[in-house]
A and B are shown apart, each in its own frame.
Chain A
Amino acid sequence: DAKTTQPPSMDCAEGRAANLPCNHSTISGNEYVYWYRQIHSQGPQYIIHGLKNNETNEMASLIITEDRKSSTLILPHATLRDTAVYYCIVRGGADGLTFGKGTHLIIQP
């Protein structure tokens, strides 16, 4: 059963912020929200994760709503190299890591 819901595709102009939404309304208290991306023909790459506070690293920011039922991944200045499939996953510590269909983000020049 899918634990997350994401739009199948999104477009964003190069240089603009890309905001990728994810719904995870059945998330439980010990589950973290993870984001990965996969560029064609490569293994998935970790981006960021969080429990309930907003998080930021050199790649992206993660905004989690107060009720934890949804989150948004923000790529602040998208480049053509950010074109990829982005996966939002919820997971507890020793759980399997289950990927959904993800969002295909296309950065337009």
Chain B
Amino acid sequence: DVKVTQSSRYLVKRTGEKVFLECVQDMDHENMFWYRQDPGLGLRLIYFSYDVKMKEKGDIPEGYSVSREKKERFSLILESASTNQTSMYLCASSPYYTEAFFGQGTRLTVV
């Protein structure tokens, strides 16, 4: 079975902290994605990567950066966390032209 693992299920951070959300997949997939999900707004794409060291902005990249140094790992970085970044963050991976597999999500609270 494909496994997409997010490093934490729940996280509480302080305003202004630098936050790293880690995602690891075990199926050698080319594509990896980071989303946030908020009530009434659905899933919104933050960044995605189609290969190592490649990244593309999604719909809401402001306030975030990403890193993909190895194929299996895609990190989302909040350079200076703010309260409006409190959300559920979901990571996914997929090969080209087939389905994506999602992790269980990280519920981040910024206080």
A44 close to B50 (CB less than 8 A): no
Number of A-B contacts (CB under 8 A): 53
Which B residues are closer than 8 A to A by beta carbons?
Answer: 30-31, 33, 35, 42-45, 48, 50, 56, 58-59, 90, 92, 94, 96-105
A97 close to B100 (CB less than 8 A): yes
Which A residues are closer than 8 A to B by beta carbons?
Answer: 32, 34, 36, 38, 42-46, 49, 87, 92-94, 96-102
Known A43-B104, A49-B99; contact A96-B45, beta-carbon cutoff 8 A: yes
A46 close to B42 (CB less than 8 A): no
Give the interface SS of chain A, mostly helix, strand, loop or mixed: loop
Interchain CA distance A95-B44 in the complex, whole Å: 14
Known A42-B104, A43-B103, A43-B104; contact A97-B94, beta-carbon cutoff 8 A: yes
Closest to A96 in B: B48
Write the nearest CB–CB distance from A66 to chain B, whole angstroms: 21
